[in-house]
Amino acid sequence: MPAASSPAVPATTRPRPGWGARSRRSGSPRGWRDRAGARTPSAARSRWRAARPRPEPMEGPPGARAESTEAAAAGASTPPPIVIFSVSGMAERTSKAARTPRAIWRGTISFGMVSIPVNLYTATESHDVRFHLLHRRDGVRLKNVRWCPKDERAVPWDDVVRGFEYTKGKYLPVSEEDLDHLPVKSVHTVDISDFVKLEEVDPIYYDKAYYLAPDEAGVKAFALLRQALQQTGRAAVAKVAIRDKENLCLVRPYEDVLSMETMFYANEIRSAQDIAADGEKVSPKELQMAVSLIENLSDSFDPERYRDEYQAALKQVIKAKVEGAPLPEAPTEKGGRVVDLMEALRASVEQTRKKGGATQRKASSAGRRTAQRRRKTA
Mode of pairing for the β-strands spanning 147-148 and 153-154: antiparallel
Domain end, chosen from 179, 210, 244, is at 179
Residue 255 resides in a domain: no
Residue 269 resides in a domain: no
Spatial contact of 147 and 234, defined as CB atoms under 8 Å apart:
no
Rounded to whole angstroms, how far apart are CA atoms 151 and 218?
53
Same domain, yes or no, for 172 and 306? no
Q: What is the DSSP string of 204-215?
A: GGEEEEEEEEE-
| Closest of 207, 304, 216, 199 to residue 260, by C-alpha | 207
Rounded to whole angstroms, how far apart are CA atoms 51 and 160?
10
Spatial contact of 245 and 197, defined as CB atoms under 8 Å apart:
no
Same domain, yes or no, for 37 and 152? yes
Residue 307 resides in a domain: yes
Same domain, yes or no, for 173 and 33? yes
Number of structural domains in the chain: 2
Partners of residue 122 on adjacent β-strands: 210
Rounded to whole angstroms, how far apart are CA atoms 133 and 141?
6
Domain end, chosen from 122, 145, 179, is at 179
Spell out the per-residue pLDDT of the chain, length 378, in tens: 444 444 444 444 444 444 443 443 344 434 444 444 444 444 444 443 444 444 444 444 444 444 444 434 444 444 444 444 445 554 444 454 556 688 999 999 998 889 999 999 999 999 999 999 999 999 999 988 899 999 999 999 999 999 999 999 999 999 888 877 777 777 779 999 999 999 999 999 999 999 999 998 899 999 999 999 999 999 999 999 887 789 999 999 999 999 999 999 999 999 998 888 877 788 888 898 899 889 888 889 898 998 989 899 999 899 998 999 988 888 877 665 656 778 888 888 888 887 665 555 555 555 555 555 555 444
| Closest of 275, 274, 277, 242 to residue 261, by C-alpha | 242
Rounded to whole angstroms, how far apart are CA atoms 211 and 256?
10
| Closest of 250, 207, 202 to residue 229, by C-alpha | 250
Residue 1 resides in a domain: no
Residues 129-141: b if buried by 16+ CB within 10 A, e if exposed: beeeebbeebbbb
Spatial contact of 89 and 129, defined as CB atoms under 8 Å apart:
yes
Name the pTM for this structure: 0.62
Rounded to whole angstroms, how far apart are CA atoms 93 and 81?
29
Residue 304 resides in a domain: yes
Residue 106 resides in a domain: no
Q: What is the DSSP string of 94-128?
A: -SHHHHS---SEEEEEEETTEEEEEEEEE------
Same domain, yes or no, for 308 and 174? no
Same domain, yes or no, for 175 and 306? no
* Domain containing residue 52: 20-100+131-179
Rounded to whole angstroms, how far apart are CA atoms 143 and 68?
6
Residue 167 resides in a domain: yes
Domain end, chosen from 145, 179, 213, is at 179
Residue 199 resides in a domain: no
